[in-house]
Amino acid sequence: MEENSNFIKTIIKEDLESGKHDKIVTRFPPEPNGYLHIGHAKSIVINFGLADEFGGKTNLRFDDTNPLKEDQEFVDSIKEDVAWLGYEWDGLFYASDYFEEMYDRAVLLIKKGKAYVDDLSADEIREYRGTLTQPGKESPYRNRSIEENLDLFERMRNGEFGNGEKVLRAKIDMASPNVNLRDPVIYRIAHATHHNTGDKWCIYPMYSFAHPLEDAIEGVTHSLCTTEFEDQRPLYDWVVAECEMPSVPRQIEFGRLNITNTVMSKRKLKQLVEEGYVDGWDDPRLPTVSGLRRRGYTPEAIREFVAAAGVSKGFSTVDAQMLEHFVREDLKLKAPRTMGVLRPLKVVITNYPEGEVEWLDAEINPENPEMGMRKIPFSREIYIEQDDFMENPPKKYFRLFPGNEVRLKHAYFIKCEEVIKDDEGNVVELRCTYDPETKSGSGFTGRKVKGTLHWVDATHALPAEFRLYEPLILEEEGTEDHEGEEKSFLDNVNEKSLEVLEGFIEPNMKEAKAQDKFQFFRHGYFNVDPKHTTEEKLVFNQIVSLKSSFKL
Ligand code: ATP
Ligand code: MG
Ligand code: MG
């Protein structure tokens, strides 16, 4: 068990043993301003996983305090993604349901002389706040009377002022070495319609004021967030204490998940979606939960990956190959094996009787014999992969070339006798002969061949589209901070991240449905795309190739 432990579990165990809590409550608090990505999956796995392990509860709470960016579409997608990852929330809450209580707590602060209405502009406030090496300067409005502050705050609520004209600030310490404590803004004016509260409010609480209150209102015991909030912890504790919240949550920070060559910020993902670089939030190239699902990743693989990436305070970037490793592991025993030709080249087997069809037996998954057998047709015309033939092969090329013999998986040896070209000299067809003695499973040992090719029967094959992917972003450092950075990551968008091929698959695939997963012999794992698949044609997304250099 020890290897699965982490510093958060240690804290929780201590809190349960000491009797500080008899039950833990965690929460996953997304802002509904975009779709969830795999970084959020880490937070989900940690929060729900800890509650499951210690018999506690986890709330799904929409942190919807910013009306300008939030939308019902995002609320719906987040619910779908959390459930798909395999978790059930206890309470489903909206921060906006607490606006009245938050307002009351702000009034309490004013009455205690711990908050004031400030008329400085946002720029002036920033300037007055000072820097790490320079103390802040007090606002000329800092010493307004309690009565005046109460009156102004109420008038802010009543809509008497325009956006940005006034804010409410906590009165803490303009000389604090922690800049977050230099009278942070806790309410701002925004005349905007909120997806949940409509036009009821025109003042909205800031994250650093709202979040601790939300946690305390729900009786959250351990409020887990990422390390960029570490410096905010003193403010978090200040808000809970000064607002006299009866329940005291504890904020604990862990390191964000970052993955090589992967953008993982909602702002950037949104930009890729809105500027048309991808086919929606669920584009299979995106690290969104819905994109990974459409690509063919499984909840099991994502959960195992996140667990293996570990929980620590430290900052780390995980190799994208590690995620691929876990999906291969998960699909190895589950995915049926099949054959598909992505770039077809026709082969005519000249000594095979015209009009005859044989139905060959093939295992559905040699690593999992319980999955049984399938039938594949074989006849005079088949397709092989274009790059499984070379007219002038280099040394050690063991596939098909004039005069060479190879094995067709599950079928016979064939030998290349003739190459047919079009007017421009492109190879358009091969004429081969087969040897009936060499039938797969017949025990033939007469001679050996070095290459084994996959193929499909040309008369029975079904057309299919194959979508192959490369990383969408080249050389993304994965070191972006929470606020984002100046340099445009759009410069690194890979123009060859999607390749669409029209090929053929075995006819027994006719019944395949959206989200079914297969291992195509020699090509890797593929998922039936739920968006582009039609009655006429299956569309496959490549999940991962077969080989990996990655070792855990
Ligand atoms: P982003 O910066 O990508 O927009 P966010 O933190 O603004 O993400 P929220 O909706 O506020 O998005 O996140 C909900 C929860 O998920 C928060 O507790 C946040 O700390 C956590 N989270 C977000 N990104 C990651 C990540 N890369 N690794 C771990 N946890 C994350
Ligand atoms: Mg956030
Ligand atoms: Mg964000």
Mean pLDDT in residue range 343-367? 97
pLDDT value of position 552 = 57
The domain boundary residue, chosen from 217, 235, 254: 254
What span, in angstroms and rounded, lies between the C-alpha atoms of 181 and 162? 26
CB-neighbour burial class of residue 547 (10 A; exposed 0-12, middle 13-18, buried 19+): exposed
Is 96 annotated as a binding-site member? no
Q: Using the predicted structure, report yes or no on whether residue 101 has a pLDDT greater than 80.
A: yes
CATH number for 443: 2.40.240.10
Which residues partner with 528 through β-bridges? 540
What span, in angstroms and rounded, lies between the C-alpha atoms of 271 and 265? 10
What span, in angstroms and rounded, lies between the C-alpha atoms of 211 and 208? 6
**Among protein residues, the one whose CA lies closest to atom 25 of ligand 1:** 39
Query: Which residues have CB under 6 Å of ligand 1?
Result: 29-31, 39-40, 42-43, 225-226, 256-257, 264-266, 482
pLDDT value of position 479 = 46
Q: Which residue has the tokens 């291969």?
A: 328
- Using DSSP's 3-state secondary structure scheme, residue 541 falls into strand
What span, in angstroms and rounded, lies between the C-alpha atoms of 60 and 401? 60
Q: Which amino acid is at 305?
A: F
Q: Using the predicted structure, report yes or no on whether residue 499 has a pLDDT greater than 50.
A: yes
Helices (H) and strands (E) counted in the chain, each on its own, are: 12, 27
Domain range enclosing 532: 259-336+464-544
**Is the residue at 552 inside a domain?**
no
Contact 354, 380 (CB under 8 A): yes
Q: What percent of the chain has pLDDT over 70?
A: 96
Task: pLDDT band for 482, please (50, 70, 90 cuts).
Answer: very low
pLDDT value of position 24 = 98
Of the candidates 477, 94, 436, 54, the one whose C-alpha atom is nearest the C-alpha of residue 261 is: 477
**Is the residue at 205 inside a domain?**
yes
Q: How far is CA 531 from CA 283, 471, 515, 528, 541, in A?
A: 10, 20, 10, 9, 11
**Is the residue at 112 inside a domain?**
yes
The domain boundary residue, chosen from 397, 424, 454: 454
Q: Which residue has the tokens 């075995």?
A: 506
Contacts of 168 (CB under 8 A, 6+ apart): 106, 110, 115, 116, 117, 118, 153, 156, 185, 186, 187, 203
Which residues partner with 257 through β-bridges? 316
Mean pLDDT in residue range 284-308? 97
Is 265 annotated as a binding-site member? yes
Task: pLDDT band for 476, please (50, 70, 90 cuts).
Answer: low
CATH number for 138: 3.40.50.620
Same domain, 55 and 161: yes
**Is the residue at 472 inside a domain?**
yes
The domain boundary residue, chosen from 198, 232, 254: 254
**Among protein residues, the one whose CA lies closest to atom 10 of ligand 1:** 30
Q: Which residue has the tokens 């972003």?
A: 473
Q: What percent of the chain has pLDDT over 90?
A: 91
User: Of the listed 61, 129, 266, 380, which one is catalytic?
Assistant: 266
Same domain, 99 and 80: yes
CATH number for 283: 1.10.1160.10
Pocket test for ligand 1, best of 26, 31, 40 (most atoms within 8 A of CB): 40
Contacts of 117 (CB under 8 A, 6+ apart): 141, 144, 148, 149, 152, 153, 156, 166, 167, 168, 169
Give the ligand whose atoms come closest to the C-alpha of residue 225. Answer: 1
CA 195 to chain centre: 25
What span, in angstroms and rounded, lies between the C-alpha atoms of 348 and 255? 59
Task: pLDDT band for 114, please (50, 70, 90 cuts).
Answer: very high
- Rounded to the nearest whole angstrom, what is the distance from the C-alpha of residue 224 to the centroid of ligand 1? 11
Contact 282, 496 (CB under 8 A): no
- Rounded to the nearest whole angstrom, what is the distance from the C-alpha of residue 334 to the centroid of ligand 3? 36
Give the ligand whose atoms come closest to the C-alpha of residue 42. Answer: 1
- Rounded to the nearest whole angstrom, what is the distance from the C-alpha of residue 246 to the centroid of ligand 3? 29
Q: Using the predicted structure, report yes or no on whether residue 302 has a pLDDT greater than 50.
A: yes
Contact 323, 289 (CB under 8 A): no
- Rounded to the nearest whole angstrom, what is the distance from the C-alpha of residue 40 to the centroid of ligand 1? 5
3-state secondary structure 318-379: ECHHHHHHHHHHHHCCCCCEECEECCEEEEEECCCCCCCCEEEEEECCCCCHHHCEEEEEEC
Contacts of 100 (CB under 8 A, 6+ apart): none
Nearest atom (ligand 1) to Cα of 229? 20
pLDDT value of position 316 = 77
Same domain, 246 and 322: no
Q: Which DSSP helix (H) or strand (E) runs through 15?
A: helix 7-17
Dihedral angle over CA of 476, 180, 48, 308, nearest 10: 40
**Is the residue at 315 inside a domain?**
yes
Same domain, 95 and 212: yes
**Among protein residues, the one whose CA lies closest to atom 9 of ligand 1:** 30
What span, in angstroms and rounded, lies between the C-alpha atoms of 197 and 203? 12
Establish whether 31 is a catalytic residue: yes
Task: pLDDT band for 130, please (50, 70, 90 cuts).
Answer: very high
Same domain, 442 and 359: yes
Is 180 annotated as a binding-site member? no
Q: Where are the beta strands (DSSP E) in 139-254?
A: 167-170, 185-189, 203-205, 222-226, 250-254
Of the candidates 487, 423, 425, 416, the one whose C-alpha atom is nearest the C-alpha of residue 449 is: 416
Q: For residue 411, what are its two tokens?
A: 């079928």
Is 41 annotated as a binding-site member? yes
Same domain, 396 and 292: no
pLDDT tens profile 401-416: 999 999 999 999 999 9
Look at the chain and report how many structural domains it folds into: 3
Same domain, 250 and 264: no
Task: pLDDT band for 478, please (50, 70, 90 cuts).
Answer: very low
Contact 120, 84 (CB under 8 A): no
DSSP state of 139: -
Same domain, 526 and 439: no
User: Of the listed 256, 294, 337, 399, which one is catalytic?
Assistant: 256
Same domain, 134 and 89: yes
Dihedral angle over CA of 530, 533, 534, 537, nearest 10: -160
How many CA within 13 A on the CB side of residue 170? 26
- Rounded to the nearest whole angstrom, what is the distance from the C-alpha of residue 106 to the centroid of ligand 1? 26
**Is the residue at 551 inside a domain?**
no
Q: Which amino acid is at 224?
A: L
Contact 164, 122 (CB under 8 A): yes
Establish whether 256 is a catalytic residue: yes
**Is the residue at 82 inside a domain?**
yes
Task: pLDDT band for 477, please (50, 70, 90 cuts).
Answer: low
pLDDT value of position 549 = 59
pLDDT tens profile 172-187: 999 999 999 999 999 9
Q: For residue 36, what are its two tokens?
A: 């969830």
Q: Using the predicted structure, report yes or no on whether residue 2 has a pLDDT greater than 50.
A: no
How many CA within 13 A on the CB side of residue 195? 20
Say whether the ipTM exceeds 0.90.
Answer: yes
Is 222 annotated as a binding-site member? no
Q: Using the predicted structure, report yes or no on whether residue 487 has a pLDDT greater than 80.
A: no
Contact 374, 359 (CB under 8 A): no
**Is the residue at 459 inside a domain?**
no
pLDDT value of position 550 = 59
Same domain, 502 and 410: no
Same domain, 372 and 515: no
Same domain, 348 and 384: yes
